[in-house]
Amino acid sequence: MLSRILVANRGEIALRIIRACREMGIASVAVYSEADRNAPYLRLADEAICIGPADCNQSYLNIPRIISAAEITNVDAIHPGYGFLAENANFAEICSDCGIGFIGPPVEAMKLLGDKVEARKIAKKVKVPIVPGSEGVVPNEAEAMKLANQIGYPIIIKAVAGGGGRGMRVVHNDISLRAAFNAARTEAEAAFGEGAVYIEKLIVEPRHVEVQVMADQEGNVVHFFERDCSIQRRHQKMIEESPCPVIEDRDRQKLADCAIRVIKEAKYVNAATVEFLLDKDNKFYFIEVNTRIQVEHPVTEMVTGHDLIKWQIRIASGQPMKLRQKSIKHQGVAIECRINAEDPANNFSPSPGTITRFIAPGGNGVRVDTHVHQGWTVTPNYDSLIAKLIVHQKTRAEAIATMRRALQEFVIEPIKTTIPACLEILSHNLFVKGKVDTGFVERNL
């Protein structure tokens, strides 16, 4: 087993990983920027090292500093969390060169699945349904036009290196395609340093459903069922739940099988999330693989009783999973709300500041993952996520009731948070009925 792990992240996910290490008897090393110097979670790590100023580029994204910190503290491995360097193949490669374990996939698998065009090819190869679209990069407008007319409008233009909605354009006809194609390339170039784009058919009002998968170094692959993350605002997930409330067990099984086939074909190891779109007829289409642990992983932990971070660490230690698929049970319903320091009344603009009053919800069926507390200052330097509120109950109706009462008792003052927005969604008739899609928030909030 690994005996000493550096956590190359901050905030709630750093705390999440430190907690797992403590429970496993593994020493942990936290790194922090000067902005996070007083974070109380740092004292829960066995060591804490300042790696730079507040600016991420000089701290949490700075590979030499993180590697140096790993070297001077003699860790066996680095856990990158999510965001920052978690999907940076260059970082994973440097770890490997320096003889430091990377708690995540092998470099090759990360590169392969990180390239959306390659990922589509793999899915196609193992007969996993993909959204109709280009075979790969669409080199120019003329090709785009030809293809669009072949698969039929509406279509969507996406950056090969993309994420978070940047370099993305929805196009409904030839005229708008002309304007959008080059705009998407330029935006992708600016955002990712790589302008290549591809084209897919636009699935109208889809749900976002993803399968949690875990693979060990011996090629054992299991899934931990799916999460429904259709409640998004500008491609940022706000609320996630498991199971997906609209699919039947047979389709659930098919979905999971498809996810496992992709992961096996990519010779992937460690935690991955295979993302699909689900159309109005409950037909699903593979879209991409996230090669890291995700923000919403606690939803899966609640319904399966498995600690995914601990599995990541065991697998990175070289342990075989010894976990049979049929021993993984899905029980009840879990929902997560992301509590961000954003003002829903003001177009979700960031709301930094010092929290002078903080009362977290608790009681039966409630889990809170947060690094903040009364007296914490939310700085504008980082992601606005300040807490994840997760509930687990026997039924979806009960889970919604518990989430509502937990949101109602959550006090965070004076900064603005997404609590009222989450409450509004949880109370919405269509959400309660499970009749939502990825456009729900934009249409209804």
Comparing CB distances to other proteins, the nearer of 377 and 444 is 377
Q: Is 379 in the site for other proteins (CB under 8 A)?
A: yes
C-alpha dihedral sign at 396, 397, 402, 408? positive
Q: Check whether the bond before 320 is cis (ω within 30° of 0).
A: no
Considering only 132, 136, 332, 353, the residue that binds other proteins (CB under 8 A) is 353
Closest CA to 406 of 423, 425, 393: 423
Alpha helix stretches (DSSP H) within 87-221 = 89-97, 107-114, 116-125, 141-151, 174-192
List the structure tokens of 231.
Answer: 């409640």
22 assigned to active site: no
> Each residue of 393-405: b (16+ CB within 10 Å) or e?
beebeebbebbee
Of the candidates 10, 292, 314, 367, the residue annotated as catalytic is 292
Q: Within 13 A of 287's CA, how many CA atoms are on the CB side?
A: 25
Tell me which amino acid residue 178 is: R
Of residues 3-22, those binding its own copies (CB under 8 A) = 15-16, 19-20, 22
Taking a C-beta distance cutoff of 8 angstroms, is the pair 37, 381 a contact? no
Question: DSSP code of 54?
Answer: S
Taking a C-beta distance cutoff of 8 angstroms, is the pair 393, 399 a contact? yes
Phi and psi, residue 318, nearest 5°:
95, 5
Q: Is 405 in the site for its own copies (CB under 8 A)?
A: yes
Considering only 107, 368, 432, 445, the residue that binds its own copies (CB under 8 A) is 368
Comparing CB distances to other proteins, the nearer of 52 and 104 is 52
Q: Which stretch binds its own copies (CB under 8 A): 122-130, 195-203, 263-271, 303-311?
A: 303-311
CA distance 148 to 53: 47
Question: DSSP code of 338?
Answer: E
Considering only 40, 139, 164, 380, the residue that binds its own copies (CB under 8 A) is 40
Residue 42 binds which entry of its own copies, other proteins, none, CB below 5-8 Å type-dependent: other proteins
Q: Is 371 in the site for other proteins (CB under 8 A)?
A: no
Q: Is 363 in the site for its own copies (CB under 8 A)?
A: yes
CB neighbours (10 Å) of residue 76?
Answer: 19
Report the SS3 class of residue 376. Answer: coil
Binding track over 52-91 against other proteins, x by CB under 8 A: xx-----x----xx-xxx-xxx------------------
Of residues 15-54, those binding other proteins (CB under 8 A) = 32, 34, 37-38, 42-43, 46-53
Q: What's the chain's length in residues? A: 445
Of residues 338-357, those binding its own copies (CB under 8 A) = 357
Binding site for other proteins (CB under 8 A): 32, 34, 37-38, 42-43, 46-53, 59, 64-65, 67-69, 71-73, 98, 353-354, 356-357, 374-377, 379, 414
Binding site for its own copies (CB under 8 A): 15-16, 19-20, 22-25, 40, 44, 298, 301, 305, 307, 309, 331-332, 357-360, 362-370, 373-375, 394, 398, 401-402, 404-405, 408-409, 411
Q: List residues with catalytic annotation.
A: 292
